[in-house]
Amino acid sequence: MAGAFALGAANGSLVWFSALALGGAKLAPWLSRPSIWRLIDISVAAMMIFISVQLLMNAF
């Protein structure tokens, strides 16, 4: 049973890192634009603010 888990974990890792490398190479021209990074930063900031507001609302 442990061997099956190890084989599955290794296979999942191989697929994940291969997809990450191929995806990064494919998206490199798109991600080299500053406007895209600004959009990503704004999206992350909005998500963080939303989560912090939800945490504060549930704390009181």
DSSP the chain: -HHHHHHHHHHHHHHHHHHHHHHHHHHHHHHTSHHHHHHHHHHHHHHHHHHHHHHHHHH-
The whole model's pTM is what? Answer: 0.64
pLDDT-flagged residues of the chain (< 50): none
CA distance linking residue 20 with residue 39, whole number of Å = 21
Domain count, the chain: 1
Range of the structural domain that residue 25 is part of: 2-59
CA distance linking residue 12 with residue 19, whole number of Å = 11
pLDDT score recorded for residue 2: 86
Q: Are 38 and 44 in contact (CB under 8 A)?
A: no
pLDDT score recorded for residue 57: 94
pLDDT score recorded for residue 39: 97
